Amino acid sequence: MMSRAKQTSLLAALFIAGVAPLVGAAALPVQRVTPVVRAQGWGRPPAKYAGARATLMARRAAEVVALRNLAARLDIPSGGVLRGFTWRPPTYHADGSVTIIVEWRPPRG
């Protein structure tokens, strides 16, 4: 058993070193980490269109592919309903293609 003076000096040394003792660690709140499922989609503009119309078509294609990939990762059957997803900002590339990421978090409960 350590004397009170040794305990105090040990705690002071740990405090100076920046190491906090685990006294009362059970009283800390537990934080839950919700998993995030991400899927990426990529779309290319059609050859016979140009300009803003082609960019919008490429973005829509990327969105459809991203949702299809997300449904595959979540094992949702064809024709199933996918709710609660969020879009990340799309990335527009110099060749006219678009990349987009969709995320899904499980509902709390």
pLDDT tens digit string along 49-89? 999 999 999 999 999 999 999 999 999 988 888 888 999 99
**Is the predicted pLDDT of residue 100 greater than 90, yes or no?**
yes
Q: Which of 39-43, 71-75, 104-108 shows the highest mean pLDDT?
A: 39-43
Place of tokens 């499922």: 37
Helical (H) or strand (E) element with 10: helix 4-17
CB neighbours of 37 closer than 8 A, spacing ≥ 6?
70, 73, 74, 103, 104, 105
**Is the predicted pLDDT of residue 21 greater than 60, yes or no?**
no
Backbone angles phi, psi at 37, to 5 degrees: -100, 125
Q: Could you list the beta-strand ranges (E) of the chain.
A: 37-43, 85-87, 91-92, 98-104
